[in-house]
Amino acid sequence: MTEGNFVDYVKMQVTSGNGGKGSAHLRREKYITKGGPDGGDGGRGGHIILRGNPNMWTLFHLKLKRHFKAGHGGHGSKQTSTGADGQDIFIDVPLGTVVRDTETNDIIFEITETNEERIVVEGGKGGLGNFHFKSPTNQTPRYAQPGIEGQELKITLELKVLADVGLVGFPNAGKSTLLSVVTAAKPKIADYEFTTLKPNLGIVEYRDYQTFVMADIPGIIEGAAEGKGLGHYFLRHIERNSTLLFLIPADTDDILKQYEILLDELRRYNPEMLDKERLIAISKSDMLDDELKTELKAELDETLPIKYLFISSVAQQGITELKDKLWAMLND
C-alpha cells in the first residue's frame, strides 16, 4: 500500500430508508361484496450497517463516496400482504474503526471484531395495515398507518491502527528502516525528519511460521499531545497497540531524557497508554565500537527504568534478539 492510499479519517452522510405505508384495503371478492379489512403492513426501511473487514487496512475506499442511502420499505397490500423490507446498505471498514457523530463528536461505537455488524441508522418502521384496527365496534376501518421516515446522520470514521507492536520515537529515529528490515513492508525512507506522514503496517515473520503485526507510527515531537506538529493525528494509532517499542538512536545526547519525553507525550494524551508493555531499542548501534557500547550499557543499566537492547537495522545487528523479545512480551 502506498502512503497516499492510506486514509484514516473520513466524513460521510448516511440515510436510512423510510418505512412503507400500511394498506387500508377492504376484502372484495366474487360473492363477497362487503369483506372485512385485509390491508397488510408496510415493510421496514433499510438500515445503514457498518461491518468489520479484517482484510482492510485503510478507509481509502470511502474517500470519494460520502453519501449512502438505504432502500425504502414497500407498501402493504391486500390479503394482509406485508411490503418488502428496504435494502440494507453494508459498509465494510477495517478493524479499529471508531464512528463518531460529526456534530457532537461523541463516539457512537467502535468496530474491533471480524465481521462485526453495527447499525449506524435504523430504517423507519413500516406502518400497520387496517387489518390491525378492526374491532367489534369498528369492523371496517378505512385507515392505516403511514410508515416512519428514515434517519439522516453525519458521521466521522476514524481508523486507529490495530497492530501488536507500535514503533514510538522521534522523527528520523529509524522506525521505517526497522520496519523494512523485519517485514516485507516498503515504507518511504530518507535522511530527513517526518519522512513518514502516515502509519505503515508490516507482518513480522517469526519462528515456525508464526507472525505478528508491527506498525510504524509517524514521529512524535515534544508537545504532540497538545496537537503540535501532527499531534493527535497519529497518537491515536498508538492506542490500539498492545506493546510499544521505543526507538532511540545511539547518538542521542541523553537517551533517558528522550525516553521520558516520549513517555510524557503518551501520558498526556491518554494515561492508559502507560499500562502497555514497553521495550527500548537503541537503534543505529553500529556506530558504536565495543568500548563505547560497554560504557553506554553501564550507564543505561543504572538509569533506564525498563529493559532495552542494542540494534542496527542497516547492519542487521540484534534483529533476531529483538524479535524473540517482542514475541515473548506479546505471548507472556
Tens digit of pLDDT at every position of the chain (332 positions): 444 566 778 999 999 999 999 998 888 777 777 778 989 999 999 999 999 998 887 888 898 888 999 999 999 988 889 999 999 999 999 888 999 999 998 999 999 899 999 999 999 999 999 888 888 888 888 889 999 999 999 999 988 777 788 888 887 777 778 888 887 655 444 443 344 445 677 778 888 778 888 877 775 655 444 444 444 456 667 777 788 899 888 888 888 888 898 888 888 878 888 888 899 989 888 888 888 888 888 888 888 888 889 988 888 888 889 889 989 888 87
How are strands ordered across the β-sheet holding 165-168? 200-205, 211-216, 165-168, 243-249, 277-283, 308-310
Cα(112)–Cα(211) distance, integer angstroms = 20
- CATH number assigned to the domain comprising residue 86: 2.70.210.12
Residues 84 and 176 in one domain: no
Residues 8 and 141 in one domain: yes
pTM, 2 dp: 0.69
Residues 155 and 267 in one domain: no
For residue 151, what pLDDT is reported? Answer: 94
- CATH number assigned to the domain comprising residue 281: 3.40.50.300
Domain boundary among 115, 140, 159: 159
Length of the chain measured in residues: 332
- The total of structural domains in the chain comes to 2
Cα(187)–Cα(315) distance, integer angstroms = 18
For residue 42, what pLDDT is reported? Answer: 94
For residue 192, what pLDDT is reported? Answer: 36
Residues 130 and 263 in one domain: no
Domain boundary among 113, 136, 159: 159
Structural domain boundaries, residue 235:
165-330
Residues 45 and 108 in one domain: yes
The SS3 assignment for 180 reads helix
Residues 115 and 210 in one domain: no
Residues 79 and 118 in one domain: yes
Residues 81 and 149 in one domain: yes
The SS3 assignment for 211 reads strand
CA angle at 276 for the pair 101 and 280, rounded to the nearest 5°: 125
For residue 181, what pLDDT is reported? Answer: 82
Residue closest to 185 by CA, chosen among 217, 219, 215, 207: 215
Residues 196 and 300 in one domain: yes
Residues 153 and 258 in one domain: no
For residue 196, what pLDDT is reported? Answer: 44
For residue 222, what pLDDT is reported? Answer: 52
Are 238 and 160 in contact by the 8 Å Cβ rule? The answer is no
Residues 20 and 140 in one domain: yes
Residues 135 and 177 in one domain: no
DSSP 235-303: HHHHTT-SEEEEEEETT-S-HHHHHHHHHHHHHHH-GGGGGSEEEEEEE-GGGS-HHHHHHHHHHHHHH
Amino acid at 231: G
Domain boundary among 136, 159, 182: 159
